Chains A and B, each alone.
Chain A
């Protein structure tokens, strides 16, 4: 089953504008990660935020995490046409470890971002 829910499902903006995508999840997490996927390709990791962190930056990306609301947001500033892709949040649940360690990324359905030149 998919834990995360991204919002909106689709977003269309002009080049240069900022894009904000939200993610909600259901269970306690160890960390939350954002990935990008260009059409028909594999996923590329963008940023990881741990459960004890509230905000993280990487280049034009800014991620926030609110564990009390079980939600995260991804902000892409000064968007470019090359940012056109689907964006997924993925969570690693806490308390799922057993034996040698259990690790499972659970993805949402994604936000499809279109940046118009």
Chain B
């Protein structure tokens, strides 16, 4: 296991289309997070899973966004009816249960909505 894997690395889509991103966490990590990062800003929290349960969702996560983590393994983040404002880097991270532990980030999926 070489770390958190995200696919695709880049995605260009037309406004109004749906897109789905995948994140494969480190296998023994039961926590998984999604963040969004725009140019010059720090990552902003979107949502968090403990195993398969989605425990927190940011107000940034509008009803066009949905995330799943079936069976507590990989996760998907879907954006429906994409808008230009959705253009950003989408980062996935995973960690162990312990609060005082580091999060391991994937390389991110860069979304460009044209």
Binding site for B on A (CB under 8 A): 2, 4, 30-31, 33, 35, 40-45, 48, 50, 88, 90, 92, 97, 99-110
Return the chain A residue nearest B47 by Cβ.
A104
The 22 listed contacts between A and B (C-beta, < 8 Å) are: A31-B99, A33-B102, A35-B105, A40-B89, A42-B106, A42-B108, A43-B43, A43-B91, A45-B103, A45-B104, A48-B101, A90-B42, A97-B99, A100-B55, A101-B99, A102-B56, A103-B99, A104-B45, A105-B93, A107-B42, A107-B43, A110-B42
Q: How far is the CA of A45 from the CA of B26 in the complex (A)?
A: 15
Q: Is the CB of B53 within 8 A of A100?
A: yes
Q: How far is the CA of A72 from the CA of B99 in the complex (A)?
A: 19
Count of interface residues, chain B, beta-carbon cutoff 8 Å: 31
Q: Which A residues lie within 8 Å of B112 (CB)?
A: none
Q: Decide if B110 is an interface residue (CB 8 Å cutoff).
A: yes
Give, as a whole number of angstroms, the nearest-CB distance from B9 to chain A.
10
